[in-house]
Chains A and B, each alone.
Chain A
Amino acid sequence: MKILSISFLIFMISNVNILPQSSFGLNGYSGNHSSFSSPLYNFESNVSDYSQIKDWGFSAIYGMEFANSTNSNLYGISISKTINNHNISVRYTPGYQKEFSFKTGETIILQDSTSQSLTSGFIYKELFGFGYSYKFSDDFSAGFSFRYFNQEFNREAVTVIFNDNPYLVSESTGEKINFWKGDLGINYFLNERLNFALASINLLNFGQKAENSEFEQYELKKDMGGMFGLSYHPVDETALNFVYETTNAFQLGVNGYLKNFSLGFTLFHDKYQSPSIAGIIPSIGFKSDLFEVMLSGIKYFSNRKVEHGVSGFVENGLSNIINNPYSYDKILLTVSFNLNTITEKFVEFVDVKINKDIYPTFKDNYIDYPFAYGTVVNLTDDFINVKPLSRIEGINEENIQSPGSSIAPHDTAEVPFYLIIPEKYHSDKTALSYADFYLVTTNEQPDDEFQKAILVNSSNSWDGRVSNLHYFIRKDLDFSMMNAKEILSKNKPTLDTLTYGLEDFYKANILFNSFIKNLVYTSDPRATGEYVQFPRETLELKGGDCDDLSVFYSSLLESVGIQTALVNYKTDGTIRHVSVLFNTKLSPEFARLITNNDSKYFVRENLDGKDEIWLPVETTSLTDFETAWKIGSEKFNKDAVNNLGIATGKVEIIDIY
Chain B
Amino acid sequence: MLMSLIKLSVNYNFNKQMKKLIRYLVILSSVLILLSCDKPAPTELVDDSTVEYEVLSKDVNDEYYSNGGDTTGVTQDLKDFPNLISLSGVKETDINGTVHEYSFGQTIVFDRTKPVYDSNRRLLAYQTVTPGVIRIENIRAIEVPFHIRYRDNGVLIDTTLGSKYILFSRLHPLFQYRHNARLNFRLTFLNNDFVNFDIKTPKEITGNVEILGKRADGNLRAKLNWNKENSRDVEIIISGRLISDRKTVMPLYRIKTNDNGKLIIPAKLINQIPSDRFDRLVFTFIRRLEETHNNGNNDLRVSSQSIHSITVNLP
Question: Which residues in A have some Cβ–Cβ distance to B below 8 Å?
Answer: 58, 60, 62, 65, 67-69, 71-74, 77, 94-95, 97-109, 115, 121, 157-162, 164-168, 171, 290-291, 307-311, 313, 326, 328, 335, 337-339, 341, 367-368, 387, 389, 398-403, 418, 420, 438, 440, 444-446
Cβ–Cβ contact A420 & B35, under 8 A:
no
Output the least CB separation between B63 and chain A (Å).
14
Cβ–Cβ contact A74 & B18, under 8 A:
no
A111 vs B35: C-alpha distance in the bound complex, in angstroms? 46
A67 vs B44: C-alpha distance in the bound complex, in angstroms? 11
Cβ–Cβ contact B46 & A106, under 8 A:
no
Cβ–Cβ contact A398 & B38, under 8 A:
no
Given contacts A99-B42, A166-B57, contact A310 B29 (CB under 8 A): no
Output the least CB separation between A159 and chain B (Å).
4
Chain B residue at minimal CB-CB distance from A99: B42
Cβ–Cβ contact B18 & A339, under 8 A:
yes
Lowest 5 CB-CB distances: which A-B pairs, in order?
Answer: A105-B47, A67-B41, A102-B45, A159-B268, A74-B36
Cβ–Cβ contact B266 & A368, under 8 A:
no
Chain B residue at minimal CB-CB distance from A389: B10
From the candidates B8, B9, B41, B60, name the one contacting A166 in the complex (CB within 8 A): B60
From the candidates B51, B60, B253, name the one contacting A105 in the complex (CB within 8 A): B51
Cβ–Cβ contact B53 & A367, under 8 A:
no
11 A-B residue pairs with Cβ-Cβ distance under 8 Å, sorted by A, are: A67-B43, A71-B39, A98-B40, A98-B43, A99-B40, A105-B49, A106-B52, A307-B45, A337-B24, A400-B8, A444-B12
Chain B residues within 8 Å of A389, by CB: 8, 10
Output the least CB separation between A113 and chain B (Å).
9
Given contacts A160-B269, A337-B25, contact A398 B51 (CB under 8 A): no
A313 vs B44: C-alpha distance in the bound complex, in angstroms? 11
Cβ–Cβ contact B274 & A162, under 8 A:
yes
Chain B residues within 8 Å of A338, by CB: 21
Question: Is B302 part of the contact surface with A, judged by Cβ < 8 Å?
Answer: no
Given contacts A95-B39, A102-B44, A368-B3, contact A401 B53 (CB under 8 A): no
Chain B residues within 8 Å of A311, by CB: 47-49
Output the least CB separation between B302 and chain A (Å).
24
A253 vs B41: C-alpha distance in the bound complex, in angstroms? 28
Question: Which residues in B have some Cβ–Cβ distance to A below 8 Å?
Answer: 1-3, 5-10, 12, 14, 17-18, 20-21, 24-25, 28-29, 32-33, 35-55, 57-61, 252-253, 266, 268-269, 272-274
Chain B residue at minimal CB-CB distance from A402: B5
A398 vs B36: C-alpha distance in the bound complex, in angstroms? 48
Chain A residues within 8 Å of B6, by CB: 401
A338 vs B22: C-alpha distance in the bound complex, in angstroms? 11
A33 vs B130: C-alpha distance in the bound complex, in angstroms? 87
A420 vs B61: C-alpha distance in the bound complex, in angstroms? 112
Chain B residue at minimal CB-CB distance from A364: B2
Cβ–Cβ contact A171 & B268, under 8 A:
yes
Cβ–Cβ contact A73 & B53, under 8 A:
no
Cβ–Cβ contact B43 & A308, under 8 A:
yes
Chain B residues within 8 Å of A418, by CB: 3, 5
A94 vs B36: C-alpha distance in the bound complex, in angstroms? 9
Chain B residues within 8 Å of A328, by CB: 41
Output the least CB separation between A171 and chain B (Å).
7
A109 vs B51: C-alpha distance in the bound complex, in angstroms? 11
Chain A residues within 8 Å of B52, by CB: 106-109, 115
Cβ–Cβ contact B57 & A157, under 8 A:
no
Cβ–Cβ contact B32 & A60, under 8 A:
yes
Chain B residues within 8 Å of A310, by CB: 45-49
Cβ–Cβ contact A160 & B55, under 8 A:
yes
Chain B residues within 8 Å of A99, by CB: 39-43
A444 vs B8: C-alpha distance in the bound complex, in angstroms? 12
Cβ–Cβ contact B40 & A420, under 8 A:
no
Cβ–Cβ contact A158 & B40, under 8 A:
no
Cβ–Cβ contact B35 & A62, under 8 A:
yes
Chain A residues within 8 Å of B7, by CB: 398, 400-401, 420
Chain A residues within 8 Å of B58, by CB: 165-166
Cβ–Cβ contact A100 & B40, under 8 A:
no
Cβ–Cβ contact B28 & A60, under 8 A:
yes
A310 vs B46: C-alpha distance in the bound complex, in angstroms? 6
Output the least CB separation between A456 and chain B (Å).
19
From the candidates A72, A77, A158, A160, name the one contacting B35 in the complex (CB within 8 A): A72
A159 vs B270: C-alpha distance in the bound complex, in angstroms? 9
Output the least CB separation between A612 and chain B (Å).
28
Cβ–Cβ contact A368 & B1, under 8 A:
yes
Cβ–Cβ contact B48 & A166, under 8 A:
no
Chain B residue at minimal CB-CB distance from A326: B43
A121 vs B52: C-alpha distance in the bound complex, in angstroms? 20
Cβ–Cβ contact A102 & B46, under 8 A:
yes
Chain A residues within 8 Å of B17, by CB: 341
Output the least CB separation between A300 and chain B (Å).
13
Chain A residue at minimal CB-CB distance from B33: A74
Chain B residues within 8 Å of A167, by CB: 55
Given contacts A73-B38, A74-B35, A290-B24, contact A166 B5 (CB under 8 A): no
Cβ–Cβ contact A367 & B2, under 8 A:
yes
From the candidates A73, A105, A171, name the one contacting B39 in the complex (CB within 8 A): A73
A323 vs B44: C-alpha distance in the bound complex, in angstroms? 16
Chain A residue at minimal CB-CB distance from B252: A166
Chain A residues within 8 Å of B47, by CB: 102-105, 309-311
From the candidates B40, B46, B268, name the one contacting A71 in the complex (CB within 8 A): B40
Chain A residues within 8 Å of B2, by CB: 367-368
Cβ–Cβ contact A107 & B50, under 8 A:
yes
Cβ–Cβ contact B8 & A101, under 8 A:
no
Chain B residues within 8 Å of A166, by CB: 55, 57-58, 60, 252, 272
From the candidates B1, B5, B20, name the one contacting A401 in the complex (CB within 8 A): B5
Chain A residues within 8 Å of B61, by CB: 164
Cβ–Cβ contact B28 & A309, under 8 A:
no
Cβ–Cβ contact B55 & A308, under 8 A:
no
Chain A residues within 8 Å of B1, by CB: 368
Cβ–Cβ contact A168 & B53, under 8 A:
yes
A347 vs B27: C-alpha distance in the bound complex, in angstroms? 35
Chain B residue at minimal CB-CB distance from A313: B45
A104 vs B50: C-alpha distance in the bound complex, in angstroms? 8
Task: Report which residue of B1, B29, B53, B266 has the largest number of chain A beta carbons within 10 angstroms of its beta carbon.
Answer: B53
Cβ–Cβ contact B21 & A309, under 8 A:
no
Chain A residue at minimal CB-CB distance from B43: A326
Cβ–Cβ contact B40 & A399, under 8 A:
no
A402 vs B59: C-alpha distance in the bound complex, in angstroms? 104
A97 vs B36: C-alpha distance in the bound complex, in angstroms? 14
Chain B residues within 8 Å of A77, by CB: 29, 32
Cβ–Cβ contact B9 & A399, under 8 A:
yes
Given contacts A71-B41, A108-B52, A309-B47, contact A367 B269 (CB under 8 A): no
A400 vs B51: C-alpha distance in the bound complex, in angstroms? 86
Given contacts A73-B39, A74-B35, A367-B2, contact A103 B59 (CB under 8 A): no
A313 vs B60: C-alpha distance in the bound complex, in angstroms? 39
A34 vs B41: C-alpha distance in the bound complex, in angstroms? 32
Output the least CB separation between A1 and chain B (Å).
29
A67 vs B41: C-alpha distance in the bound complex, in angstroms? 6
Output the least CB separation between B276 and chain A (Å).
11
Output the least CB separation between B98 and chain A (Å).
30
Output the least CB separation between A381 and chain B (Å).
26
6 more contacts with CB within 8 A, not counting A101-B43, A339-B21, A403-B3, are A71-B40, A101-B45, A103-B47, A109-B54, A401-B5, A401-B6
Chain A residues within 8 Å of B51, by CB: 105-107
A101 vs B44: C-alpha distance in the bound complex, in angstroms? 5
From the candidates A103, A164, A335, name the one contacting B46 in the complex (CB within 8 A): A103
Output the least CB separation between A152 and chain B (Å).
12
Cβ–Cβ contact B48 & A309, under 8 A:
yes
A264 vs B296: C-alpha distance in the bound complex, in angstroms? 69
Chain B residues within 8 Å of A160, by CB: 55, 253, 268-269, 272
From the candidates B28, B48, B53, name the one contacting A158 in the complex (CB within 8 A): B53
Chain A residues within 8 Å of B57, by CB: 166
Output the least CB separation between A72 and chain B (Å).
6
Cβ–Cβ contact B60 & A71, under 8 A:
no
Chain A residue at minimal CB-CB distance from B6: A401
